[in-house]
Amino acid sequence: RAKEKGGNDYQFYTSSMDEKLIEKLSLDKDLHNAIKNEELLVYYQPKVDIYTGKIVGMEALVRWKHSQKGMISPAVFIPLAEVNGCIIHIGEWVLKTACRQNKLWQESGYEPVTVAVNISARQFQQPNFVDMVRNVLDETGLEPKYLELEITESIAVEDIEYTIGILKKLKEMNIQISLDDFGTGYSSLSYLKQFAIDNLKIDQSFIKDIIENKNDAAIASTIIAMAQNLNLNVIAEGVETKEQLEFLKKQNCDYAQGYFFSPPVTSIEFEKILKKSL
């Protein structure tokens, strides 16, 4: 209690805000060295075909194993990296790591799957973004059809003409594009047909209560039906239960990702999953 700590509310709140700020500044500094110190890791989460149960892909999700603070969530450090610019370096590193890993698994004889990589706003806006992606594919030898880039609606609608141009170039290279967290952004549905996209990922917030909540069920069903009509593949994120999966199956949803199948895991653990699915 502020009063008990000397009766000065102002002092109390200021010092706790300072702590947060100091914490943020120190993370900010550490982030610059995170790649160099090999503290970043890429985890993988399977994407499953709802009808066959087969793994058709995986999403690459970055993790930061801080030397003192332990695991830090991307939800915390990606926004920091966006502001301080580290995201350019980190994003390229994640892309390269994920493509190289996917190529390695293909060379080891596992059935080829796609790897999906999240792209942040600042990365997408880099003038050399398309060249960077092309270089990574050249360097790692991964065929472009096995790469999926995930962008959010909010990134896509920031500058419509720019987005249309970039997506068209990526499409011409045979890279797949997914619209992530679909339903949470502000995009108008009319953009959907202007963007060269292949997949819609229904945000996990709609899947969470799909069984109990009629509104969420209606929203999810509507997104699935719309995707079908637009000839897009639809992926449900955050599937945690058999009931949710059964519901999605009835609605003709194509793919699912979520703890029901597996959380994101290290490359070593993911290879075990691939081995089992052979």
Site for ligand C2E in 156-195 (CB under 6 A): 180-181
- Binding segment (CB under 5 A) for Mg ion, from list 144-152, 155-163, 241-249, 261-269: 144-152
- Which of 72, 96, 238, 254 is in the footprint of ligand C2E by CB under 6 A? 238
- Which of 30, 92, 148, 150 is in the footprint of Mg ion by CB under 5 A? 150
**Residue type for 54, please?**
K
In angstroms, the CA 210 to CA 204 distance is 10
| Secondary structure element (H or E) that encloses residue 50, with its range | none
Q: Which is nearer to ligand C2E, 150 or 254 (CB)?
A: 150
Residue nearest to ligand C2E (CB): 258
Q: Is 62 in the site for ligand C2E (CB under 6 A)?
A: yes
- Which of 50, 101, 180, 244 is in the footprint of Mg ion by CB under 5 A? 180
- Binding segment (CB under 6 A) for ligand C2E, from list 182-190, 209-217, 234-242, 265-273: 234-242
Instruction: Read off the tokens for 197.
Output: 């996209």
Q: Is 114 in the site for Mg ion (CB under 5 A)?
A: no
Which x/- pattern, by CB under 5 A, does the window 192-221 give for Mg ion?
Answer: ------------------------------
> From the CB of 180, what's the least distance to Mg ion, in Å?
4
DSSP string for 181-243: EETSS---HHHHTTS---EEEE-HHHHHTTTT-HHHHHHHHHHHHHHHHTT-EEEE----SHH
- Which of 97, 101, 114, 120 is in the footprint of ligand C2E by CB under 6 A? 120
In angstroms, the CA 189 to CA 163 distance is 15
Dihedral in degrees, nearest 10, Cα atoms 62, 66, 71, 73: -50
With vertex at residue 48, the alpha carbon angle to CA 42 and CA 50, rounded to the nearest 5 degrees, is 160
